[in-house]
Structure 1
Amino acid sequence: MKSIGSKWMVVLFVAVGVFMLFNGRAQAAYPEKPITLMVPFEAGGGVDGFARALASRMEKDLGVPVVVSNEKGSGGRRGSIALFKSAPDGYTIGFPHIATLIYDDTLGETKSPVDYSKYAVILRVDTATFFMYVDKKQPFKSVKDMKSAGQALKFASTGIGTPSWLIPSAVGSAAGFRTSFVSGHKNLAEAALAVARGDVVGGTGSYTHFRGVIDDVRPLVYMSDKKSYHLPDVPTIADLGFGKLSTLGVPWVIVGPPGTPEDKLEKLRGVLRKIIQQDEFKKWGLENGYEPDIMPPDVFWKKMGELKEVYLGLKPQMQEKK
């Protein structure tokens, strides 16, 4: 009996060893197939360009294709929702339009159908800090000058609740000028063209959005408490005394759907951190209008909490703008 028991113990130990060996290999094998990197905007925009630059470099470290998928629509909401509802297996990640989802839950008339706080954050990789600018043919040389306008100033926008609507509204409320909007632009580069043509008074966007028409527009303020690398002579919103509005940027954060396993998130986090900290990528970013900068999940969520508080503080003024 003792001999039989010993044999069963040996069999059990072998079985456990085999299971652990194969289980370890299965976990170590990630990723085994292509990864989809979702962008909630059309191809050719700022986020899209950044995503494609990351994807080509991620492939080298991960050993599998990283395919950018553009899921445009509804000011970034459509793709953000699709990403949220994707399988949490580590093979679908992407850039949700967090700022707009927070807007929907604080200032919007319709709440978002997804809980943005449940995204599995991998890493924030950049922030699209916006400028507010005007057609150079306009008489306004500063934000203060806009206060003297005798009518509402018309801005190009991609839709209600997007930063291109919220920022002029918030700055106008703070500085004392009225705004109106021409919405429906497909992207902020298209909106910049509308400003340059004189179709509207002004617009908003990061440097990547309007650098193609930089000779035809006049940036009036940079929505940050730090100077822009690309246009350091433009005053910051903090310089104008409205520092709380410096949070109104668009964080470019890469996430997985809720429930994505932490070991897979950490694998991707390490790859992204390595890429973004490389001098070659930083140089590429600055040359193309970006300012790559990483932020870990805990700090990112703290910043989003601050953004939510700013939105809530703007609620009385924003309700008047609708």
Structure 2
Amino acid sequence: MSSNNASGKIVSVDEQAFENADEQAVDEDGFPVVDETPEFEATVEQETQAKVDANHPDGIADTSNERIHGVTLEQEERIRARDAELEHIRAQAELGTQDDREQRTRVVAAQESKQRRQEFQKRAASVDPWADPERNDPRTELSQDELATVNTEADRLATRMDGWSRAAISRRLAEAVLDGTDTTSAVVRVFEALQTAPGHVVPIGKLDEVNRKEVSIAGRVKTLWSPSHPSIAQVGLIADETGQTRVTIWKASEAPWIAEGEHVRIHGAARNWYEGRVSLAVTGWSTIHFPERGRWWEA
């Protein structure tokens, strides 16, 4: 009986390929086979341009929060920092443009407002020539004697009227004089006009001559009586040296209480008519002041 002591080693295909990797291939005649396939390599200019393209933000697609393909971490950080800087510069440029536009808008609005005011004054000048903005100060057109008289009367009226300066009164007097009114009549005319001017206390006797809805008065509480309606807090008469008027204080106004004999100053009272006579109502828009309350000699 014969025995074969042959030993075999199983070699995989991959291992055989590895072992034969260094062996040069030969053709059927035994001659070495030369690989004539050309190898392509990037030029220096191409490599430089590739680096520039990789580092330029505009050459990179939107990668959102993902890593940028084809660049190192250092390059990616530099690219994202450059993106952030460009975004910051763009935001500053847009904000600067908005601020500049807002400033230009304010300038244009102010110019348009001035133009509208001048146009309004021009139209008003057709009724009152002294409203013309291009007309000189009327006092410059007075003679020396007329100007001296006007200034003297303006000083006297300024002491009798609160809230009006000597310059404003003298200008009004000069306008009246130049319109052909004698000095005495001009003083009366200006005095009555300023008494009923908006924003100033109107004499109670002149309330029926005012064409405004709201007025201000000052006087003493002459008498009070019981209200005729639950919504009325107080009702009575207030008088000054020129006359007296009925005043109704509504509960909704939440105005302070007044007492008979007390001096009061009412601002923003609503003017209306009661039994053919002008009367006033204190509303939520009105205010009542008490000039004599809290005086040291009454403490």
What TM-score do you get using the length of structure 2 for normalisation?
A: 0.22
State the structure with bigger RCO (CA 8 A, min sep 6), 1 or 2. 1
Scaled by the length of structure 1, the TM-score of the pair is 0.21
